[in-house]
Structure 1
């Protein structure tokens, strides 16, 4: 309960509902911030034309079967797909991996593993979309990732 209002705070509600804490001491977020969205697609060319030409996103980097765009808000949109499936994958950066992994243990998270920009683990949301949590605070700029 908040001493000022006498009302239940989100943290109080979360504790009663089995939710994980949103922040650590000092305000750092346990799960980090949403910075990467990956859309798997069947037609990379059409999706590239749409997001580049119609929406106006700037290309950051690309490979044979993917392309990444600067979102204008410090994030990154990646479009691609090797297997022709469609789906959405969200990437949270700057996570406190041990705490986040423990808080989501009921969702069968993957083991912690090395990622090209840090360590990570993945879970699925109730609709089966993939959420990755990475322990670095920022992604390297596209030109730093190029081989």
Structure 2
């Protein structure tokens, strides 16, 4: 028996509004809660993704562990090349593309995320 249900995934960042906008363009949804240091996005399938401002934020450095990733998201897409062009235009940075069905990027705050074919 579970103790509870997953409610939210919270990502630390320096600019919550900016990062929420990036992810809203990436996965869709609507902003359901926002102030200067917290923004929550609810996607079309009801999942919540929130962004919390952290003073002195330091971005993770993938794949090393000197500054390890705290969390990463896998985003399912139909066409990796088309999706890559879109996320790069939004401000993502490409980190790795060794696997045919998965490519790794960093969001504008440095968090790794993957585009995957599922």
Higher strand proportion: 2
Q: What's the TM-score once normalised by structure 2's chain length?
A: 0.41
Higher helix proportion: 1
Larger Rg: 1
